[in-house]
Homo-oligomer: A and B are copies of this chain.
Amino acid sequence: MKVFNFYAGPAILPEEVFKKASEAVLRYTKTGLSILEISHRSSEFVEIMEEAQSLAKDLLNVPEGYEVLFLQGGASTQFLMTAMNLVGKGVPAGFIDTGSWSSKAIKEARLFGEIEVLASSKEANYSYIPKDFHIPENLKYVHLTSNNTIFGTQFHDFPRTSAPLVADMSSDIFSRPIDVSRFGLLYAGAQKNMGPAGTTVVIVRDEFVQDPVREVPTMMNYTTHIAKSSMFNTPPVFAVYVSLLTLQWVKNSGGVVEIDKKNKVKADLLYETIDNSSLFYGPVRKEDRSRMNVVFLIRDERLSNSFLQACEDAGCIGVKGHRSVGGYRASIYNAMSPEGVERLSSVIQEFDQTHG
């Protein structure tokens, strides 16, 4: 039986990416070297890096004046790196708090200077995306988490601001078109829609980071990595290569416009099934539901584990919810096939008919 991986991340990637990556580990260069043993200064790797950068620009329609960087350390490192470069005294940065990841970004930024939390949905256990709140003028930037993997919320529209947006897009980058020109900087740990754990993509407007507010250590300074096209030090060669393979798959699947349509169909099916059941319900406000992480709960807690067992028996694994919400979470990133979502949908329906 085919198994479907609903884990939140590191997460499912396309089958053909695994195949090509596996071959490259055995043999990549003409002379027979593995992708794991080639120099990052070799023409083979320089080509991988350049193609990954250019494909990322192509897929997201990145305007002139922006750079695509492949760094290390995950979004957690970007929380401090953005603030270290941009947050000081005088001009505060604004933050929208939609749960765990936003809160961590806020915590790091506070170490460096003035910030303002503009809005938060904490009082409702982060079950919605705040809207219609006051955004002061003259902010350095406005930070948000575009999709919250834990609570299953997603910004479907980004707030209008006079300041540039800075976004953590770890869990929905390359899942839909975005207007990059509204962002000063966006970052994403690769391990959801873009590749394996081990690299972090940063898309940044050059001008936005040209004059850090303080003296910044070399590796934490965006200008270092811009000047050297992500090759100041040894990049995570394999993670960048697998990201390139994944971006090629996105391109061959019709790009982010087509991927977005497919993601919408997948998410709609799952939410409809949940809404039509008597046993299950989604805690997130309808218009803010994530198309990446479908969070749902069960009305009869005594059936909680037997539903998880039913999922596993049907080859749907990783459906257990995060401890801060409980219940279930089905992560249906780009690489999750419609077939996988249909399978899970059937499991929900059957379980509901039997026990509801």
A318 vs chain B, min Cβ distance (A)? 7
| Given A72-B74, A198-B198, A218-B108: A242 touches B31 (CB 8 Å cut-off) | no
Binds B, one of A32-40, A58-66, A281-289, A301-309: A32-40
A29 vs chain B, min Cβ distance (A)? 9
A197 at the interface (CB under 8 A from B): yes
- Are A217 and B318 in touch, CB under 8 angstroms? no
A36 proximity list for chain B (CB < 8 A): 10, 13, 17-18, 21, 196, 242
A347 proximity list for chain B (CB < 8 A): none
In the docked arrangement, what's the CA distance between A9 and B318, Å?
37
- Are A10 and B26 in touch, CB under 8 angstroms? no
Please indicate which of the listed interface residues A12, A37, A199 has the most CB atoms of chain B within 10 Å of its own CB.
A37
A10 vs chain B, min Cβ distance (A)? 6
Chain A window 263-289, contacts with chain B (Cβ cutoff 8 Å), 1 for yes, 0 for no: 000000000000000000000000000
A74 proximity list for chain B (CB < 8 A): 72, 233-234
A232 at the interface (CB under 8 A from B): yes
Residue on B nearest A3 in the bound complex, by CB: B31
In the docked arrangement, what's the CA distance between A111 and B216, Å?
9
In the docked arrangement, what's the CA distance between A18 and B10, Å?
22
A34 vs chain B, min Cβ distance (A)? 5
- Are B7 and A39 in touch, CB under 8 angstroms? yes
A215 at the interface (CB under 8 A from B): yes
| Given A39-B7, A39-B9, A198-B198: A234 touches B191 (CB 8 Å cut-off) | yes
A23 at the interface (CB under 8 A from B): yes
In the docked arrangement, what's the CA distance between A72 and B81, Å?
14
| Given A37-B10, A39-B8, A189-B234: A76 touches B219 (CB 8 Å cut-off) | yes
A80 at the interface (CB under 8 A from B): yes
In the docked arrangement, what's the CA distance between A239 and B239, Å?
9
Residue on B nearest A19 in the bound complex, by CB: B26
A21 proximity list for chain B (CB < 8 A): 25, 36
- Are B84 and A237 in touch, CB under 8 angstroms? no
| Given A80-B218, A234-B74, A238-B197: A11 touches B37 (CB 8 Å cut-off) | yes
In the docked arrangement, what's the CA distance between A122 and B247, Å?
45
A226 at the interface (CB under 8 A from B): no
- Are A217 and B84 in touch, CB under 8 angstroms? yes
A54 vs chain B, min Cβ distance (A)? 21
In the docked arrangement, what's the CA distance between A242 and B9, Å?
20
| Given A72-B74, A220-B80: A13 touches B25 (CB 8 Å cut-off) | no
A11 proximity list for chain B (CB < 8 A): 37
A245 vs chain B, min Cβ distance (A)? 10
In the docked arrangement, what's the CA distance between A23 and B26, Å?
9
A46 vs chain B, min Cβ distance (A)? 13
- Are A22 and B26 in touch, CB under 8 angstroms? yes
A308 vs chain B, min Cβ distance (A)? 15
A232 proximity list for chain B (CB < 8 A): 76
State the A residues within 8 Å of B (CB). 3, 5, 7-13, 17-19, 21-23, 25-26, 31-34, 36-40, 42, 72-77, 79-80, 84, 104, 107-108, 111, 189, 191, 196-199, 215, 217-220, 232-239, 242, 317-318
